[in-house]
Structure 1
Amino acid sequence: MTEEKMTENTEETVKDSEVTEEASEETTEQEAAAGEDKDGKKSIFGKKKSKLEEKIAELEDARMRQLAEFENFRKRSEKEKGQMFEVGAKSVVEKILPVIDNFERGLASMPEEEKGTPFADGVELVYKQMLGALDEIGVKPIEAVGQEFDPNFHNAVMTVESEELESGTVAEELQKGYMYQDSVVRHSMVKVVS
């Protein structure tokens, strides 16, 4: 190839690259005018773009509020369900306690000659089984005798005098009190030293 032809080819290549650059700049300007950014993605100008962003932010805020409301509703429902279960369990325990009291009275009033018989042993086994079942679900008797009187757990029905115990101490338990988990189902009926 001759030198002249090489020079002509080089000049044509330079001109072609200049034309390509100019076309590229024009295309970028046209894309921007048409609403396209450098990556070829559509974008919305000024007010339209800010309105769209505001709407997106508003919808996102509404979505987050709904999620928070749902979470609060779920927690409140679980708490109410737990409270309803506890109230129901306490109600059942309250109905069983008189049966326990009658077992205790029956066993206490049993004559000595009948103790140790199969019938007496059977009654005692049923009584212990009921106490075990109550213990498993969280029902515990309230300690009373020898304890300081506490109106949260004890119901004083009588006062007695005693030289052995201090004033304000429970001297005798007339009826057992019971707790279900952390709440009192029935207060202990007691005699208190005055």
Structure 2
Amino acid sequence: MNDTHVDTAADIASEDARPVEATELDALRRERDEAADRLLRLQAEFDNYRKRQDRERRELGDHFAAELLGEFLPVLDDVERALAAAMATAEPALASHRQGLQLIHKQFLELLRKRQVAPVDAVGTDFDPNVHQAVGQEFSADHREGEVLEDLRRGYRLGERLLRPSMVKVATRG
């Protein structure tokens, strides 16, 4: 009877161990699943952080590029004025100066083209305060009210971003 009693105690002990092991196993599985979930969330947060940093770095680079290109535009204006003045005279002594100015002008325009900088089309379009700065009006029966008659200073865009508005003269009828 003693052996039976020991066997019964052993059976009871092993039966007690099974639920404890199952409970511990379930707890470990829950812990594993929670850790996997935390890992996935952390990976997603890191990926979002990396994308946000890339976007901010790109936007900052675009901002500085636009600022620098915008500072070159007055120099381009001066080169164009000098070129126009040199072309207005047929003085043979200025031929090499004209060629030099034409070369500089061409290089400037090529640099802007490579950087996706494009002039704003103004003459013949309707005045748009988003891209034009009206500095004068002129009566004209031959043009629409609000039509841009003259581009006094060319405006430029960098992609969709306006670097500088065009300074324009606008038609009026009244």
4+ residue runs of structure 1 moved beyond 3 angstroms?
A: 32-36
Q: What is the root-mean-square deviation in Å for CA atoms of aligned residues? A: 2.2
- Which letter maps to 1:58? E
Q: 1:57 aligns with which of 23, 28, 33?
A: 33
User: Could you tell me how far 1:45 is from its partner in structure 2?
Assistant: 2.7
2:135 partner SS: strand
- Which letter maps to 2:78? N
Q: Which residue of 1 aligns with 2:90?
A: 113
Structure 1 spans left out of the alignment, 5+ residues: 1-28, 37-42
- With normalisation by structure 1, the TM-score equals 0.75
CA contact (8 A) 1:114 1:120 kept: no
Structure 2 spans left out of the alignment, 5+ residues: 1-10
1:151/1:135 Cα in 2 relative to 1: closer, same or farther (>3 Å)? same
Q: Deviation digits for residues 9-57 of structure 1, max 9, x if unmatched?
A: xxxxxxxxxxxxxxxxxxxx9xx75979xxxxxx963322221111111
Asked which structure has the greater RCO (Cα within 8 Å, sep 6+), the reply is: 2
Q: 2:114 aligns with which of 114, 121, 136?
A: 136
Structure of higher CA gyration radius:
1
Q: Is 2:41 aligned against 1:68?
A: no
Q: 1:164 aligns with which of 131, 139, 142?
A: 142
- With normalisation by structure 2, the TM-score equals 0.83
1:139/1:47 Cα in 2 relative to 1: closer, same or farther (>3 Å)? same
Q: 1:48 aligns with which of 24, 27, 30?
A: 24
After TM superposition, the structure 1 = structure 2 runs for residues 1-194 of structure 1, keeping only pairs within 5 Å, are: 45-110=21-86, 111-114=88-91, 117-194=95-172
Q: Distance in 2 between matches of 1:182 and 1:114?
A: 42
User: Could you tell me how far 1:137 is from its partner in structure 2?
Assistant: 1.1
Q: Which residue of 2 aligns with 1:20?
A: none
User: Could you tell me how far 1:112 is from its partner in structure 2?
Assistant: 1.6
